[in-house]
Every structure is written in structure tokens, then in C-alpha cells.
Amino acid sequence: MRKMRRKGLASMAVQTVATSTDTPSVDLGPAAALSCRECGHRVPLGPVFACEECFGPLEIAYDFSGYDTEELRKRIEAGPANIWRYAPLLPVPADVAGKPNLNPGWTKLVQADHLAAELGVDAGRLFVKDDSGNPTHSFKDRVVAQALEAARAFGFTTLSCSSTGNLAGAVGAAAARAGLRSCVFIPHDLEQGKVVMAAIYGGELVGIEGNYDDVNRFCSELIGDPAGEGWGFVNVNLRPYYAEGSKTLAYEICEQLGWRLPDQIVVPIASGSQLTKVDKGLRELIALGLVEDKPYKIFGAQAEGCSPVSTAFKAGHDVVRPQKPDTIAKSLAIGNPADGPYVLDIARRTGGAVEDVTDAQIVDAIKLLARTEGIFAETAGGVTVGVTKKLIEAGVLDPAKTTVVLNTGDGLKTLDAVAGTGLTATIRPTLDSFREAGLAS
Ligand SMILES: *Cc1c(COP(=O)(O)O)cnc(C)c1O
Ligand SMILES: [Zn+2]
């Protein structure tokens, strides 16, 4: 990292590769190298994220060649009830389970028969993967856990990120547990629940006057500056490692379905990273022989007020035109999604779709999920449930097929979205008053 100071992002990637001989060698289990998603160029594992040849995004390439399918399945099943049961498939050291971290994952896969009945889905066919059960109540603990291991391996002493809210909390908590400094950046106008969640772990929390895309741009500048030296930005210079955490959603869903692929899966889109890695996870399980090789469809879900990917999908475009976000689904409010084009590829390749719902539909969907299944989702969960409903009504999602809908965060984080939900009645503490209110059985 020493030689990268004062360099821009692209030159940072080049610089690190050029000096890779003095990059300390790191052992991240089965992770073999970083590989460019555009041109396939490979470089050694390091804190880089852009290809030196074409500036395409780098991702982890693995060597799984030594694995025997049945041995691997047994090893996973005997593993801890968290994401580290899949350590043989992640860019982490072999002894990762013993290091202080938040041990996220292995969240519930809820068979949602009441919701299925309301949506016209066959009984036993609809499931909600409820990631509100993670340590900081969103799916972000999965990705941060991977980035933390990379930060340790590369010797970073400060953990940082640009965040739409949930990531800031996940980074703050992970750093606290690991004994690292954290300093995270969010748009200044986030929901109070998310601000408190991000601040409570004792790290530094900085509000930026601007939207997420402004925050992200600022962080990119900070990485190239001495002011950010020794900082691991989980979703920027550690992004290739971070992103792999989303594969664990796919692994868990299949294992919880009895090592079966779902037919259809509905995933929220912010940057699009999660959706692309859910697909990668499913393809790996097929390649490893852990699930049967059969088709599956991936559906992406956005809020209408920040729908650059669904707009491109519906228009048949390959490029994603940035938008200025304006939606209550703030955790998904990324107007210029880095993985947007890859999401389009995956939706089209698998026969899925990308759809969006209005803020009013998001609120209705939050209430629908709570009322039918006892799951209180944050706005992102309202987006996936709302999009699922819309796609079933449009005949795009098949109600006879096994469908998994992701809920990626807890409703307590976005209470404002359902403000006005409250008392049925206020009565005097008497039976007469109770009867007058029309509540007697
Ligand atoms: C971050 C986030 C997502 C997805 O983010 P990607 O950038 O698309 O990976 C989904 N739901 C919630 C609640 C999030 O915080
Ligand atoms: Zn490349």
C-alpha cells in the first residue's frame, strides 16, 4: 500500500500489480487470485479492485479442484451454524471460525404458506429467507465478515465504507468485535434508526452532504490520499472479498431446501452486487455437484424511485443510465449501481426479470408480510415482497414453482416508513369501554 499514495483509483490497481513481488503473500483458503470480470486477466490476491488491463471489476477466482463432493457436503453440514460452515468456498483463512467476528448467517428460511395463499402461490412453494436475523439486523454482516478477514490479511488497521446505512452499522460492529478502528461515511439524511445503529458501536460516523453516489465518490478520493492510508474500505478496495459474502445466501437457501436449487429467487438491488453473487453461489454449488444441475431464474427488485436497472431491463438496454434516487427504500438507493450491467445479464440469461414498485406498494408489502408471516421487514424487504406480488400478478413468476424471496433487513430500522401504524383504540380501563370500542369477542 505504501507506494499507492496520491494515486487515482485506476493507477492504484496498476501500481499494486506492478509491485506485486513485494506484496506479502496471503493465504485466503481456496481463493487463488483476482480475475477481471471483463477480460479474465488474473492478478495476485491484494487490496485491488480494478483490472490493470481494462479497468473492469476484479473478482475472486478459486481453486476448488481438490474437493470431493460428498466429503465437502459432510464438512459443511458438520460446520458451525453461521457462514463459516462454507469457509471452504470463501476467500478466508482456514482457521477463520476461531477469530473474533460476529459469526453472521444461517438465518431462517421461512416457509410462507399464509403469504403464498394471499399471493396465489401453491402451498409449500413460497419461502422467505429472513436476513433480519443477522447480528446487526441486515444481510450486510455477511459481506463485512469477508472484508474483515481480507483487511486482517492485508494489515489494514481502520475499517471503513460508504454506506446507505446498513453497511455502516455492520462495519462498526465488526470493527468493535475485531478490535479495529472504524470510520464510516453515510448520506447525512438517513433514517434515525440507521444512524443510531451505525454510531452505537463506538466508531466514527461521518454524514456527507449529498446522496450515496456522492459518498462513494468521496471515499474513492480518500483511498488515493494519505488521509486514508491503511484504511480498508470494505466495499471499495476490499470489494472483491466483500462481495463474496453474498454467496452464502445462495448456499444457505439450497442447503435449507435439502440441497436443492429453488426455481425462482427474488433479490433486492442496490449496487447489484448481492444479486450477482447469489447467482455465482448457485453456479458453484452446481459445479461442485452439491445440487442437481437444473435451470433457475433470478429476479431483481428495485424501488420505482431508484430503478436504473429495472428501467434498463424493461427497455431492453445493456447499459444502465444513472438516476437521482427518491424513495423510502434508502438501503437500495444507489442511483449508479456498479453491478447493474451484470444484473441485466443474469436476469436475461436465467430467464428472470427486473421489476420495481412504488413507495406505497413497498409499505403495503411490508404490512402484508408482517400480517401473514410475522416478519417485520425493512423497506428493502417491502421491495422484494412487492415485486414478487407484482410479478405473480403479471404472470412472470410461476406460482407453481419453488420461490424464495429475500428479506435483507429488519423493519425496526425503517420505522418511519410505516408511521401511522399504531393503536387500534384508546379506552378507559373498564369492560364497558372495551365493549364500546367494538373489540369484544
Ligand atoms: C446493501 C443492501 C442490499 C443489497 O445491496 P447490493 O449493493 O445490491 O449488494 C439489499 N438489502 C439491504 C437491506 C441492504 O442493506
Ligand atoms: Zn480486465
Distance CA 98, CA 84 (A): 10
Does 271 contact ligand 1 (Cβ within 6 A)?
Answer: yes
Cα(405) to ligand 1 centroid in Å equals 14
Cα dihedral 198, 96, 76, 62 sign: positive
Cα(158) to ligand 2 centroid in Å equals 29
Does 273 contact ligand 1 (Cβ within 6 A)?
Answer: yes
CB atoms within 10 A of CB 2: 8
Distance CA 294, CA 376 (A): 33
pLDDT score at 30: 95
Beta strands 31-36 and 42-43: pairing type? antiparallel
Which ligand 1 atom minimizes the distance to the CA of 277?
9
Our mutation pick for probing the ligand 1 site, out of 408, 410, 414, counting the most ligand atoms within 8 A of Cβ, is 408
pLDDT score at 10: 39
Does 409 contact ligand 1 (Cβ within 6 A)?
Answer: yes
Exposed e or buried b for every residue in 304-336, given b needs 16+ CB within 10 A?
bbbbbbbbbbeeeeeebeebebebbbbbbbbbb
pLDDT score at 26: 86
Our mutation pick for probing the ligand 1 site, out of 274, 277, 306, 383, counting the most ligand atoms within 8 A of Cβ, is 274
Which ligand 1 atom minimizes the distance to the CA of 268?
10
Distance CA 31, CA 440 (A): 63
pLDDT score at 24: 55
Q: What is the DSSP letter of 269?
A: -
Q: 54, 244 in Cβ contact below 8 A? A: no
Number of H helices, E strands in the chain: 15, 13
Q: 279, 339 in Cβ contact below 8 A? A: no
CA 421 to chain centre: 28
Backbone angles phi, psi at 130, to 5 degrees: -100, 90
pLDDT score at 51: 97
The type of residue at 326 is: D
Q: pLDDT tens per residue, the chain (441 residues)? A: 333 333 333 334 333 433 344 555 789 999 999 999 999 999 999 999 999 999 999 999 999 999 999 999 999 999 999 999 999 999 999 899 889 999 999 999 999 999 999 999 999 999 999 999 999 999 999 999 999 999 999 999 999 999 988 999 999 999 999 999 999 999 998 888 889 989 999 999 999 999 988 999 999 999 989 999 999 999 999 999 999 999 999 999 999 999 999 999 999 999 999 999 999 999 999 999 999 999 999 999 999 999 999 999 999 999 999 999 999 999 999 999 999 999 999 999 999 999 999 999 999 999 999 999 999 999 999 999 999 999 999 999 999 999 999 999 999 989 999 998 999 999 999 999 999 999 999
Does 331 contact ligand 1 (Cβ within 6 A)?
Answer: yes
pLDDT score at 347: 98
Residue nearest to atom 14 of ligand 1 (CA): 331
Cell readout for 397 is 413468476
Does 163 contact ligand 1 (Cβ within 6 A)?
Answer: no
Distance CA 439, CA 219 (A): 55
* pTM for this prediction: 0.93
CB atoms within 10 A of CB 429: 6
Q: Determine the angle formed by the axes of helices 340-350 and 308-315, rounding to 10 degrees.
A: 50
